[in-house]
Structure 1
Amino acid sequence: MPLSRLTRCDPARLLGHASTWILVGLMLSACSEQEPAENGPKGVPVAGERQQIDTLYARAITQVRQGRFDSAAVLFGQVLDLDDTHYEANLGLAEVHMRRDRHAEALAPLQQARSVDPRRPEARMQLARTLVRLERRREAIELLRELAADLPAHVGIRMLLADLLMTRKPPDPEGALVQYEQALQHHPEYRPARAGAAASRLRVGQLERATTELQTLVTETPGDVPLTFFLGTALYRQGQFEAAVDAYRDAVDALPPDSPRRLVRRWNLRAAYLAAHGTYPGQLPAEYHLELNDDARESPVHFTDVAPVVGVDRVDRGRGNVWSDLDGDGSLDMFTVAIHARHSLFRSDGRGGFADLTEAADLADLSGGWSATAADYDNDGDADLYVTRDAWEGRAANSLYRNEHNAAGPLRFTDAGDAAGVSDPDDSFHATWADVDGDGWVDLYVADGITGTGAANKLFINRGDGRFDECGRAMGAAVAGRTLGVAFGDYDADGDLDLYVVDVAGPNTLLRNDGGAGFTDVTTEAGVERPIQASYVSFFTDYDVDGDLDLFVSTMCHYEHFVESQVTGQAGGPRAHLYRNEGHTRFTEVGNHVGLRRSFGSMGAGYGDIDYDGRVDLYLSNGGPEMSRLEPNTLYQNREEGFADITESAGVGNLGKGHGATFADFDDDGDLDLYAGIGGHHPGDVWANSLYRNDGHGNHWIGLRLSGAAPNRGAIGARVVLRAGDHTTATQVTSGDGFGSGNSLDVELGLGQRDRVDAVEVHWPSGQIDRLGVPGVDRFHAVTESPDGR
């Protein structure tokens, strides 16, 4: 095709239209003359055929203009029967397919048009849009990159490519910013590109420049709905709270009085006003007030964030974390991971402080991770570490860091993932450890397929020689879906560990362990498939103090549903499910009846008895990917009448995006402290991680440090049952639940005001049962598995 023809058709002008129908309509009318292709498959039409083609084509255009798409499709098809190199007829057929929602049928004519003249952009642009409709976004992005290289000044291509980069999973704000900047090089005043660039700068952490650009845009067009909201967020994130109050007021004013989005704007305004003035509503005019359903209660304990004091307040996109005595000195060390940031190993000094030994221990892996768990997989007496990747980011190899520590040398780790056979190059999210086959060696279960790759979860069976065999399918545990959370627990009290698998996009699965021989899906029988959508993480715990393990499942709701829930006190979207164990075969969902009726974006969750009253409390790590989402983590105290929100008075309502939440008595003062990994998905959504020190309580407790028979020295999977008067409770030693994280392996059981324990039973993973008699309270007891039980 001559260059003059391409110029006359003005593809840049045509491609700039948002509607694909307008694009094709203009093209069909402006470029209707068809030049014969050289060596087309059907040959060059002779004069008679040319006249017939032109007539059929003209009739097809008429049918299109009259909205008769079925007739148009027939006529375009007749044209292509005579000349399948007819560029515009191929595009026209593709368009009428798309107008009839037959997007898959549009692919063939578009690909044919592209092959007829690979230089012309219209077919490629239309093909990219069709691929998007078919959820084949990766191919669409590659095609648009090719188009952008051919037409670097074309703003429409750049904008569509930027939009795809920002809306794909995971979002790519850096890539989107590049496209916006390229568009602005050629069209510096193009407002949509300026707005997109400013929003992208916010997401990548260029806060000052984002603020300047957003202020300019808002000044030019006061009342811009999204930009006023972005501006408030940029100001809030820089600590300019008073200015953020003004911007959020503008964001409220920009919306009609009946707009449901005003709730979210007023919630953010409330957060900014509280940050600026320490009180609410203060002098804020009444039309901006947000009345909440206040069910907050006073906390029996208070926490103090000591992370900056003890040196563990890393500013990253914190994810999983685990407590473990990695060097065998009797004090709990902490290992944390974050997205595409180096790991952190904090070694306890035994006095409540920590030293960062990440570099010295060869753990400064910049590829980061999502979950972090610990277990002595090789039976050498020290805990090893497992890190998963790359979750929402796609496929990447996981790491198994073998602990090389010995008494004479420093703490060092070596990545043995490949050698052990557990590197698992799929899109892994969480992982958890348990001896599933009863041979004494801890095995590993990994959640895969979160991005929709179809990868099944992996069950790695420990061979006892430092290597693992993948036996998921053989043992009935190769759940294939979009798995996020996984948790082991002996819900049926038969001595082996059962498995709960959380699917973010479908029903969840409960697999009963059949004595180590394999697993059976008992989801329907047990009644625990819900929530069907938006489930996130889970764990087993005895919430109702009846001696068996119940099941908790968190959910992720939209931001507007969270705010609506804060106003109404009821679920505005998905809510957490709490399943009460009804006798080891079936569960009843009771969350709504025990105080867990609100909706949260709980990406993580943890559990521990914060006041040692004998009831397990819940900590929800909340947030979402939006930079503007200001959703505090939430602490629920488990009371006799149900769960009560004590977040504010306890001092743990971190507004950053929460993930891994773990409990441990890191300072050995007789209470559980809380570590919270904090950080959003976007590169600029970074917050300092928190270590909340428990400032004490007035209740009694008992602690057990279990030492199982080799090779499961850490006693992972052990079940402890305590009886004290009218109080009976059970707990399980786990490594890897909630957001792929781990509490310490120590067993800490609260007694309330009871000052005597009547009996403690330890049900070891081996099947052995030890009865401890009447141990003393308010201290730890070292318990070693006996050879014959006692």
Structure 2
Amino acid sequence: MGPGCAFIDYNRDGAPDILLVNGSDFPGHKSKRTTLKLYRNDGKGNFTDVTAQAGLAVEIYGMGAAVGDYDNDGWDDIFVTALNESRLFHNEQNETFRDVTKASGTDNPGYGASAAWFDYDKDGKLDLFVTNYVKWTEKGDLYCTLDGRNKSYCTPEAYKGDTCRLYHNLGGGRFEDVTQKSGIYDPTSKALGVAVIDYDMDGWPDLAVANDTERNKLYHNNRNGTFSEHGTQAGIAFSEDGVARGAMGIDLADFDRSGFPSLAIGNFSNQMLGLYHNEGNRFFIDIAPTSSIGRASLLSLTFGLFFFDYDLDGLEDIFAANGHIEPEIARIQPQVTFAQVPHLFRNAGGGRFEDVGKRLGFTSKLVARGAA
């Protein structure tokens, strides 16, 4: 596992700054603990570490970040997901942030992985959705081995899942945990990614959630403060052969200009990317296996993933940040490597993509996690 990153213009000077989320050793360990990192952009291609003066030198086992103006004061705030200690930082409008987690009621108790701001009830205030991974503690860590000699990561099947959480913005800096009454509660989830998507184009935001070895979820907004889960019916829950994959990164785009948003999902190695095309009838079809994306990404393990139009031709392309979790994976699976090159899939139109990453300079192998 590894942390994410985000762009944020925290001082409103028109130059996007960079927030990096870092992991950490656990309390009591002797090595130096790491913190969040905020780099201020001077608008001339230079960045300065302003973490300490911004009030973000916080030691947490961080995972992801979501940027949004939850109090409508015109200044972007930050929610950071973390292991058992996710944090909400309020932008004080003077190049500093204040930790308002407890006062706001957003102290997510789980293994927070990612988050999204969205106004699910259309009351003009941003609400907060948080994905939680598995029920894991350092004390309860299990011993697993890949090669019969060295300790490795256990698969998610070894741990119980946890529910995602939905926090309703009450205004005045306060949130209410509405996970249960909204229909979001599901302790079987092992969620790593979330995308806000109005998949049926009814004008109300829905949620697509990427789960690791559990079926992906699609929460349909019922327009009354509740959601219904339609992942299986919509066709995004499993691979084309009915397997719940190790899903991680997720993003949406109308890549074929059909008027309906489709989904891209990063998966574990030997599972390929998922590219779920929105058919416009509340149903998706994974077209990756029949496209160049499937073959190119088959051996990759993809965490960070997003759509963007890199060549400004009006068509959304796909970037995928790759890297395995096991340093010794090549000893067991010679065709799979620990460090992996990123993918850049150019949208050629007509539902076709071509892998142009190496041609454009993405040739260095990395153990990548987050990407923005």
Scaled by the length of structure 2, the TM-score of the pair is 0.83
In structure 1, what is the equivalent of residue 174 of structure 2?
467
In structure 1, what is the equivalent of residue 290 of structure 2?
593
Counting only pairs closer than 5 Å after superposition, residues 378-527 of structure 1 correspond to structure 2 as 378-390=71-83, 396-405=84-93, 410-451=94-135, 452-480=159-187, 481-527=189-235
What CA distance in whole angstroms lies between the structure 1 residues aligned with 2:370 and 2:251? 13
Q: 2:237 aligns with which of 519, 522, 529?
A: 529
**Is the contact made by 2:129 and 2:165 (CA closer than 8 Å) also made in structure 1?**
yes
Q: 2:18 aligns with which of 321, 334, 350?
A: 334
Aligned residues between the structures: 322
In structure 1, what is the equivalent of residue 317 of structure 2?
617
Q: Aligned AA for 2:181?
A: A
In structure 1, what is the equivalent of residue 360 of structure 2?
650
Q: 1:343 aligns with which of 23, 27, 36?
A: 36
Residues 657-711 of structure 1 deviation map (CA, whole Å, 9 limit, x = unaligned): 111211xxxxxxxxxxxxxxxxxxxxxxxxxxxxxxxxxxxxxxxxxxxxxxxxx
SS at match of 1:597: helix
Shift of 1:623: 0.8
Q: Aligned AA for 2:326?
A: E
What CA distance in whole angstroms lies between the structure 2 residues aligned with 1:356 and 1:626? 31
Q: For residues 448 and 355 of structure 1, do their structure 2 counterparts lie closer, same or farther at Cα, with a shift above 3 Å needed? A: same
**Is the contact made by 2:66 and 2:114 (CA closer than 8 Å) also made in structure 1?**
no
Counting only pairs closer than 5 Å after superposition, residues 744-763 of structure 1 correspond to structure 2 as none
What CA distance in whole angstroms lies between the structure 1 residues aligned with 2:289 and 2:163? 33
In structure 1, what is the equivalent of residue 148 of structure 2?
none
Shift of 1:630: 2.4
Q: Aligned AA for 1:382?
A: W
**Is the contact made by 1:555 and 1:574 (CA closer than 8 Å) also made in structure 2?**
yes
Counting only pairs closer than 5 Å after superposition, residues 56-205 of structure 1 correspond to structure 2 as none
In structure 1, what is the equivalent of residue 265 of structure 2?
553
SS at match of 1:648: coil
Q: For residues 453 and 424 of structure 1, do their structure 2 counterparts lie closer, same or farther at Cα, with a shift above 3 Å needed? A: farther
Q: Aligned AA for 1:477?
A: I
Q: For residues 443 and 637 of structure 1, do their structure 2 counterparts lie closer, same or farther at Cα, with a shift above 3 Å needed? A: same
Q: Aligned AA for 2:323?
A: G
Q: 1:604 aligns with which of 299, 304, 322?
A: 304
**Is the contact made by 1:491 and 1:584 (CA closer than 8 Å) also made in structure 2?**
no
Q: 1:575 aligns with which of 257, 272, 278?
A: 272
**Is the contact made by 2:232 and 2:238 (CA closer than 8 Å) also made in structure 1?**
no
Shift of 1:653: 3.6
Q: Aligned AA for 1:545?
A: R
What CA distance in whole angstroms lies between the structure 2 residues aligned with 1:441 and 1:397? 24
**Is the contact made by 1:511 and 1:521 (CA closer than 8 Å) also made in structure 2?**
yes
Shift of 1:507: 1.0
What CA distance in whole angstroms lies between the structure 2 residues aligned with 1:607 and 1:528? 18
**Is the contact made by 2:303 and 2:322 (CA closer than 8 Å) also made in structure 1?**
yes
Residues 286-324 of structure 1 deviation map (CA, whole Å, 9 limit, x = unaligned): xxxxxxxxxxxxxxxxxxxxxxxxxxxxxxx6x211112
What CA distance in whole angstroms lies between the structure 2 residues aligned with 1:503 and 1:550? 17
Q: For residues 327 and 471 of structure 1, do their structure 2 counterparts lie closer, same or farther at Cα, with a shift above 3 Å needed? A: same
What CA distance in whole angstroms lies between the structure 2 residues aligned with 1:501 and 1:478? 13
What CA distance in whole angstroms lies between the structure 2 residues aligned with 1:355 and 1:556? 35
Q: Aligned AA for 1:645?
A: D
Shift of 1:525: 2.3
**Is the contact made by 2:316 and 2:347 (CA closer than 8 Å) also made in structure 1?**
yes
Q: Aligned AA for 1:474?
A: K
**Which ranges of structure 1 fall in alignment gaps of 5 or more residues?**
1-169, 171-316, 391-395, 558-572, 663-790
**Which ranges of structure 2 fall in alignment gaps of 5 or more residues?**
25-33, 136-158, 329-337
In structure 1, what is the equivalent of residue 142 of structure 2?
none
Q: Aligned AA for 1:351?
A: K
What CA distance in whole angstroms lies between the structure 1 residues aligned with 2:313 and 2:325? 36
Shift of 1:547: 2.0
What CA distance in whole angstroms lies between the structure 1 residues aligned with 2:339 and 2:182? 43
Superposed structure 1 runs of 4+ greater than 6 Å apart: none
In structure 2, what is the equivalent of residue 659 of structure 1?
369
**Is the contact made by 1:550 and 1:578 (CA closer than 8 Å) also made in structure 2?**
yes
Shift of 1:651: 1.4
In structure 1, what is the equivalent of residue 48 of structure 2?
355
Shift of 1:524: 2.6
In structure 2, what is the equivalent of residue 375 of structure 1?
68
**Is the contact made by 1:429 and 1:450 (CA closer than 8 Å) also made in structure 2?**
no
What CA distance in whole angstroms lies between the structure 2 residues aligned with 1:387 and 1:585? 32
SS at match of 1:555: coil
Structure with greater helix share of residues? 1
Residues 90-113 of structure 1 deviation map (CA, whole Å, 9 limit, x = unaligned): xxxxxxxxxxxxxxxxxxxxxxxx
Shift of 1:368: 4.3
Residues 230-282 of structure 1 deviation map (CA, whole Å, 9 limit, x = unaligned): xxxxxxxxxxxxxxxxxxxxxxxxxxxxxxxxxxxxxxxxxxxxxxxxxxxxx
Shift of 1:516: 4.3
Scaled by the length of structure 1, the TM-score of the pair is 0.40
Structure showing greater radius of gyration is: 1
**Is the contact made by 1:514 and 1:520 (CA closer than 8 Å) also made in structure 2?**
yes
What CA distance in whole angstroms lies between the structure 2 residues aligned with 1:574 and 1:633? 16
What CA distance in whole angstroms lies between the structure 2 residues aligned with 1:654 and 1:510? 35
What CA distance in whole angstroms lies between the structure 2 residues aligned with 1:482 and 1:533? 11
What CA distance in whole angstroms lies between the structure 2 residues aligned with 1:492 and 1:515? 13
